[in-house]
């Protein structure tokens, strides 16, 4: 095995240093973040080291981006785990591009960016989001996907392309990170019904550029990036028993199609960018009755499942598929302008709206053990699985970014997010000092303010901004780019 790896390494470097051009770059990053409330260090991952390279020869490019993700170990005393490693290698991208007169063909793991708006575009659905880096920008908060893509050019300013991926690609959700500001209950994998492997993801676009504007139409079909509720089963001991004793919550990824329109308009004073997307989503399963996916018996005394003791609750008493179907729309409108030679401003307006929704009727279930009747309304559990990440926070929002260059070494950046519906706010102020060429220091503060008057949602959950208030923090960063 070692000899094979060594041989591959020799071939790799032999390929790199053969005739052709080689460019590389990267960044070393040290990060500190602590909570305002108690000055506790927030233990969240960050990329300690990035290295990217591009090798070009004739009409072929080889591109790669590697990173080391750092996460402080919980057990720093080595009492439970003697492993001293606190970083994880990550191959973020590795793809080959072939250039021809017709266009560019890329194959491999690649981060794709769609949409005209700088951030929060509802059209940017091809590459999933890494929610652990939700507050980063651009490609830094995305995940690469294994795909084949093509970008073609015809005539004067006309461009077209497609992306094809044989895999279902999902967001990276923050499981087990108690310091992450948005906590999402994540089910065990056995509760999620599988996506058919014979349905690849596909997207295509047409774009026409003019002197002072361009327009773009796009289409995407695939499965949602986040799981959603599909229905439930209630299990009993046998056919003659009428007491439901175990609930099986069924999850899946809805099939969604996206039609998009985007434009960029240049004027003497401002640049206008706008993205609009229409989503049509459907539950992929109308039949969800199955064997009890939990093989072990649940013990109320022990407060959990007892591994090794078979679960005798294997008869389906009630099966209730939700059969959700919905049409929703999202839009982002962006205005950007230079206030002076040293100051720029960027404003965004975002909205999300469910235009049409249908499902099975609400279900009433009597639970004898509790002597109570519960009513389950599928619409209360609906949320978008594709589109802008802002939709998990609010249906209407305004964002602001103001950048000011003090001199050749110092700069300030002010950003904000305002929930138009429930009045939650997020403010961030960041100072950057250029110490040496490529070597910078950043100091930033973020304050999150909820709303005392915001009601609980239909599921009784707390308003997102209220839950995020404890994430208000101070952060420091040293990084060196080469």
- pLDDT tens for the chain, residues 1 to 482: 444 544 444 445 555 556 689 999 999 999 999 998 888 898 889 999 999 999 999 999 999 999 999 988 776 666 666 677 788 999 999 999 999 999 999 999 999 999 999 999 999 999 999 998 887 888 999 999 999 999 999 988 999 999 999 999 999 988 878 888 777 778 888 889 888 877 899 999 999 999 999 999 999 999 999 999 999 888 887 766 666 577 888 999 999 999 999 999 999 999 999 999 999 999 988 899 988 887 777 666 666 777 777 777 778 888 899 999 999 999 999 999 999 999 999 999 999 999 999 999 988 877 665 677 778 899 988 999 999 999 988 999 999 999 999 998 999 999 999 999 999 999 999 999 999 999 999 999 999 999 988 887 766 678 989 989 999 999 999 999 99
Structure tokens at 296: 């072990």
Q: Provide the residue ranges of all domains of the chain, joining segments of one domain with +.
A: 401-482
Between the alpha carbon of residue 235 and those of residues 197, 313, 320, 365, 397, the distances in Å are 29, 6, 12, 13, 43
- What letter would DSSP give residue 424? -
CA–CA separation, 236 and 245 (whole Å): 6
Neighbours of 54 (CB within 10 A): 15
Between the alpha carbon of residue 176 and those of residues 9, 41, 45, 304, the distances in Å are 36, 16, 12, 18
Query: Taking the model in full, what pTM does it have?
Result: 0.89
In sequence order, what E strands does 100-227 have? 103-110, 145-154, 158-165, 201-209, 213-223
Q: How buried is residue 394: exposed, middle or buried, by Cβ count under 10 Å (0-12/13-18/19+)? A: buried
- What letter would DSSP give residue 388? -
Residue 57 CA to its chain's centroid (Å): 34
């Amino acid at each position: 095995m070692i000899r094979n790896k060594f041989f591959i390494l020799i071939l790799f470097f032999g390929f790199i240093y053969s005739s052709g051009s080689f460019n590389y770059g990267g960044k070393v990053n040290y990060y500190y973040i602590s909570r305002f409330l108690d000055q506790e260090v927030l233990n969240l991952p960050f990329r300690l080291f990035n290295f990217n390279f591009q090798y070009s020869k004739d009409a072929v490019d080889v591109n790669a981006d590697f990173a080391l993700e750092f996460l402080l170990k919980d057990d720093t005393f080595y009492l439970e785990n003697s492993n001293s490693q606190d970083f994880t290698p990550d191959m973020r991208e590795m793809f080959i591009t072939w250039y021809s007169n017709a266009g560019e063909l890329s194959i491999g793991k690649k981060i794709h960016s769609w949409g005209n708006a700088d951030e929060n575009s509802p059209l940017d659905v091809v590459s999933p989001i890494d929610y652990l880096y939700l507050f980063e920008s651009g490609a830094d908060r995305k995940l690469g996907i294994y795909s084949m893509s093509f970008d073609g050019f015809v005539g004067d300013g006309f461009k077209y392309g497609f992306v094809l991926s044989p895999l279902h690609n999902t967001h990276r959700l923050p499981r087990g990170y108690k310091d992450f500001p948005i906590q999402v209950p994540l089910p065990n994998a056995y509760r999620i019904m599988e996506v058919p492997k014979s349905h690849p993801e596909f997207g295509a676009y047409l774009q026409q550029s003019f002197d002072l504007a361009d327009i773009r139409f796009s289409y995407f079909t695939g499965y949602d990036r986040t799981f959603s509720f599909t229905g439930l089963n209630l299990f009993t001991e046998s056919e003659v028993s009428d007491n439901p004793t175990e609930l099986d919550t069924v999850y899946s990824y809805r099939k969604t199609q996206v039609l998009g329109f985007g434009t960029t308009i240049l004027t003497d004073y401002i640049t206008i960018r706008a993205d609009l997307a229409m989503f049509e989503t459907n539950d992929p399963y109308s039949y969800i009755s199955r064997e009890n996916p939990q093989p072990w018996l649940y013990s109320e005394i022990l407060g959990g499942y007892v591994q090794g003791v078979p679960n005798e609750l294997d008869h389906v008493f009630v099966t209730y598929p939700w059969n959700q179907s919905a049409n929703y729309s999202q839009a982002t409108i962006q205005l950007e302008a230079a206030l002076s030679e040293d100051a720029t401003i960027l404003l965004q307006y975002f909205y999300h709206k469910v235009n049409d929704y249908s499902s099975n009727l609400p279900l009433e279930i009597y639970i004898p053990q509790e002597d109570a009747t519960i009513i389950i309304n599928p619409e209360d559990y609906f949320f978008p699985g594709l589109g802008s990440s802002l939709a998990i926070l609010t249906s209407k929002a305004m964002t602001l970014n103001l950048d000011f260059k003090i001199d050749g070494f110092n700069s300030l950046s002010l950003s904000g997010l305002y929930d138009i519906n429930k009045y939650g706010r997020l403010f961030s102020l960041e100072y950057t000092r250029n110490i040496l060429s490529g070597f910078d220091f950043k100091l930033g503060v973020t304050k999150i303010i909820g709303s005392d008057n915001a009601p609980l949602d239909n599921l009784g959950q707390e308003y997102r901004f209220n839950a995020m208030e404890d994430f208000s923090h101070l952060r420091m960063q040293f990084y060196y780019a080469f």
